[in-house]
Amino acid sequence: MPNVISPDGSIRQDNWVVVPRPAEGESLDIPADQPALIPADLWLAGYEHFTGRQEIGVWFDSHDEPEILDGRVNELPVIAVNFPKFSDGRGYSIGRLLRERFGYKNELRAIGDVLLDQLQFMKRCGFDAYVLRADKDINKAARCLNFFSQGYQAATDTEIPLFRRRAS
């Protein structure tokens, strides 16, 4: 069961599983008794079957286009974004687009190579659940999420950039 970190650094557990993309010709292996995150394009392909189900969410890989879910994001209880390598920053743009452009309201989860020093950026880009890589010390998450009390620029967490806050 994954430990899930919240933006305030608190830790909870849940049992969402990430279902990998099936190989050519294979079908999705969705567990019967657990909520599951499936590749977003496959959710769309099986839309009739999946929509409205509270135990099915989706995940995007870093090269995927979140645009495919425009207009439907809030039908999903959880959207996850995979960081295949912590140095792959595409997931930050995906997070902001989902939140700021497509108006996604439910849980946005960071999965994959999620390390302590990247949590602060994820938080600012709209992620509100982080599944830390297993070998990292989860008890340091709260500290690493809170080094900065504010940011200069607008992002998902701060609609108003500092230059406008200063002016008022």
Instruction: Give me the residues that bind other proteins (CB under 8 A), please.
Output: 86-90, 92-93, 96, 101, 115-118, 120-121, 123-125, 136-137, 140, 143-144, 147-155, 159-164, 166-167
Smallest gap from residue 28 Cβ to other proteins (A): 26
Nearer to other proteins, 16 or 92 (CB): 92
Nearer to other proteins, 19 or 119 (CB): 119
Calpha distance 50→90 (Å, rounded): 27
Concatenating the DSSP letter of every residue in 46-61 gives THHHHTT-TTEEEEE-
Calpha distance 69→102 (Å, rounded): 8
Smallest gap from residue 32 Cβ to other proteins (A): 36
Smallest gap from residue 129 Cβ to other proteins (A): 17
E strand intervals along 52-96: 56-60, 78-83
Nearer to other proteins, 53 or 140 (CB): 140
Nearer to other proteins, 38 or 119 (CB): 119
Smallest gap from residue 124 Cβ to other proteins (A): 4
Nearer to other proteins, 13 or 152 (CB): 152
C-alpha to C-alpha distances, 2 to 10, 13, 45, 112, nearest whole angstrom: 14, 6, 27, 12
Calpha distance 89→140 (Å, rounded): 22
Smallest gap from residue 119 Cβ to other proteins (A): 11
**Token code pair at residue 115:** 């390390």
C-beta contacts of 84-89 below 8 A and 24+ residues apart = 84/112, 84/113, 85/112, 85/113, 86/113, 86/114, 86/115, 86/118, 88/62, 88/113
